[in-house]
């Protein structure tokens, strides 16, 4: 069956194009991450098939086909289309592949224990070519760097976006979020502060930072175990050094706790809890003179 033709009468031109874009993105992501590209395309095309139904249409269909809505779902109209869309695919289009049906069913909220295909469709919906929300470029950047990483970015975005306007957030969204966040916490514990310190110094040196030093402040400060200092040759270099550290560590599943910068762009602080990284221009490094405050340790991290 050609599902493009099936969805067309259901949707406005704009939504139709969105679905084709999601299908294309899903196919590409599936190829990258080893999901079935054909299934990804089908789920992508169909994911919003009932998006433009009225509330009455959704509720009538839900009743007719015995879709059980929780109290939360019953009061969240935006979530109806994921449930009725999946049921439409099953009962009317007679698709019986559970993975495809679940990819449609959970494309809006996500859930704990998502399959590869479910994640692929969830992300495809986030990064399809027609998306232009603030932050989409950031999420597109992550889309091909690891499925869990981009899921984390997408879910964190959803949680932030909904909570900004005090909207309810479906428990499944937290289920998906927590599952990945917990994995991350466990992963983080494996990296010792001393290893993290060496790694950050290496990243900075590879990116041509000047005078990379660190202080072991474990015994003298509760702030962190290590402070790292580095100089960039210009404001732009300072910024790109900070971005490089963030990127390289994120790729390893190590995420920043806090980032600070002065308003002149001459100093950036990256806080990785046990390791705090200061990147300055030459003048700012002299001006702040932080190193004098701590005993400089030049031996290998303990």
Binding residues among 36-95 for ligand DGI as defined by CB under 6 A: 48, 51, 76, 78-79
Q: Does 246 interact with Fe ion (rule: CB under 5 A)?
A: no
Describe the crossing of helices 147-164 and 116-127 by its angle, rounded to 10 degrees: 60
Q: Does 118 interact with ligand DGI (rule: CB under 6 A)?
A: no
**3-state class of 46 per DSSP?**
helix
d(CA 214, CA 255): 20
**Backbone angles phi and psi of 133, in degrees to 5:** -70, 160
Binding test (CB under 5 A) with Fe ion, winner from 39, 43, 45, 48: 48
Maximum Cα–Cα distance across the chain: 74
Place of tokens 């031996």: 299
d(CA 218, CA 259): 21
Binding residues among 204-223 for ligand DGI as defined by CB under 6 A: none
Taking the least distance from each CB to ligand DGI, the nearer of 25 and 200 is 25
Binding residues among 82-141 for Fe ion as defined by CB under 5 A: 125
Taking the least distance from each CB to ligand DGI, the nearer of 25 and 204 is 25
Least distance (Å) between residue 173 CB and ligand DGI: 4
d(CA 220, CA 10): 66
CA geometry: angle at 45 spanning 40 and 46, to 5°?
Answer: 100
3-state helix, strand, coil in the chain (%, to 5): 60, 10, 30
Q: Choose the one of Fe ion, ligand DGI, none that binds residue 109, judging by a C-beta under 5 to 8 angstroms depending on kind.
A: ligand DGI
**3-state class of 213 per DSSP?**
strand
Least distance (Å) between residue 93 CB and ligand DGI: 18
Taking the least distance from each CB to ligand DGI, the nearer of 107 and 149 is 107
Taking the least distance from each CB to Fe ion, the nearer of 20 and 197 is 20
Least distance (Å) between residue 104 CB and Fe ion: 9
Least distance (Å) between residue 49 CB and ligand DGI: 11
**Cβ distance 108 to 162 under 8 Å?**
no
Q: Cα 227 to the chain's mean position, in Å?
A: 28
Least distance (Å) between residue 127 CB and ligand DGI: 11
Stretch that binds Fe ion, among 29-37, 44-52, 192-200, 233-241 (CB under 5 A): 44-52
Binding test (CB under 6 A) with ligand DGI, winner from 112, 169, 181, 273: 169
**Cβ distance 25 to 47 under 8 Å?**
no
Strand (E) or helix (H) holding 122: helix 116-127
Least distance (Å) between residue 109 CB and Fe ion: 10
Binding residues among 22-41 for ligand DGI as defined by CB under 6 A: none
d(CA 211, CA 145): 31
Q: Does 109 interact with ligand DGI (rule: CB under 6 A)?
A: yes
Residues binding ligand DGI (CB under 6 A): 48, 51, 76, 78-79, 107-109, 125, 158, 162, 167-170, 173
Residues binding Fe ion (CB under 5 A): 48, 125
């Amino acid at each position: 069956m050609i599902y493009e033709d099936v969805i067309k009468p259901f949707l406005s031109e704009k939504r139709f194009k969105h679905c084709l874009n999601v299908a294309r993105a899903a196919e590409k992501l599936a190829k990258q991450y080893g999901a079935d590209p054909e299934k990804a395309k089908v789920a992508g095309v169909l994911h919003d098939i009932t998006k433009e139904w009225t509330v009455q249409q959704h509720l009538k269909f839900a009743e007719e086909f015995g879709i059980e809505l929780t109290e939360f779902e019953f009061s969240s109209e935006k979530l109806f289309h994921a449930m009725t869309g999946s049921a439409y695919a099953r009962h009317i289009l007679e698709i019986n592949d559970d993975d495809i049906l679940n990819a449609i069913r959970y494309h809006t909220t996500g859930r704990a224990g998502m399959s590869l295909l479910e994640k692929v469709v969830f992300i495809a919906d986030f990064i399809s070519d027609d998306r232009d929300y603030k932050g989409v470029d950031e999420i597109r950047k992550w889309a091909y760097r690891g499925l869990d990483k981009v899921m984390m970015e997408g879910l964190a975005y959803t949680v932030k976006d909904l909570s900004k306007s005090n909207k309810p957030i479906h428990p499944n969204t937290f289920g998906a979020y927590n599952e990945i966040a917990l994995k991350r916490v466990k992963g983080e514990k494996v990296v010792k502060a001393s290893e993290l310190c060496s790694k950050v110094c290496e990243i900075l040196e590879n990116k041509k930072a000047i005078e990379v030093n660190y202080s072991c402040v474990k015994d003298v400060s509760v702030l962190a175990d290590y402070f790292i200092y580095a100089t960039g040759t210009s404001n732009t270099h300072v910024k790109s050094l900070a971005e490089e550290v963030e990127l390289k560590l994120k790729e390893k599943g190590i995420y920043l706790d806090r980032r600070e910068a002065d308003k002149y762009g001459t100093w950036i602080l990256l806080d990785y809890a046990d390791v705090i990284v200061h990147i300055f221009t030459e003048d700012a490094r002299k001006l702040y003179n932080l190193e004098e405050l701590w005993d400089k340790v030049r031996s290998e991290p303990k």
